[in-house]
Structure 1
Amino acid sequence: MKNDTERLAAITKAAQAFFVNDNKAAKRWLNYPVRGLDNKRPIDMINTDENASIVLNLIGCLDHGMFV
């Protein structure tokens, strides 16, 4: 089980990779409601391993061109 800091780091790293190291775009995405997360902010979903996995899975789907 990871703590909030570790989950945030993993999500941030995945978002930065998705946005091709555009830290500004990644930060914006993390801090605004996302339709694929039921209009929740990804940054608010670091509280559990399950929620963090949902965010990471969404990033993976988006990276592969899947619209969810």
Structure 2
Amino acid sequence: MGLSLLQHVESDHLAALIAVFENALTLFEDDVTAATKWMNSPVRGVGSKHTLEMLRTRVETNAVLDLIGRLQRGVLV
């Protein structure tokens, strides 16, 4: 794997982490502790996985962002 490809993968992971954390902050009304705890705990809506585990692919990241959106709208998961 070339260095540029590795940097691209790392950039994608960082972008996913930032996007999910920003959305989690909104969900938890800017409570950093609550958002961080949620991201590090098993979440029923994503198969009881930790949301941080779900940031490996864009599909998984989108599933987490979709879950956050549903929770913000009050849709049961």
Q: TM-score, normalised by structure 2?
A: 0.85
Compute the RMSD of aligned alpha carbons: 0.9
Determine helix, strand or coil for the equivalent of 1:20.
coil
More helix by share: 2
More strand by share: 2
Q: Structure 1 residue 13 and structure 2 residue 22: aligned?
A: yes
Q: Structure 1 residue 65 and structure 2 residue 70: aligned?
A: no
Largest Rg, 1 or 2: 2
Q: Percent identity?
A: 36
Structure 2: runs of 5 or more not aligned = 1-10
Structure 1: runs of 5 or more not aligned = none
* Cα distance, 1:65 vs structure 2: 0.3
The structure 1 segments of at least 4 consecutive aligned residues displaced by more than 3 Å after TM superposition are none
* Matched positions, count: 67
Match of 1:24 in 2: 33
Q: TM-score, normalised by structure 1?
A: 0.95
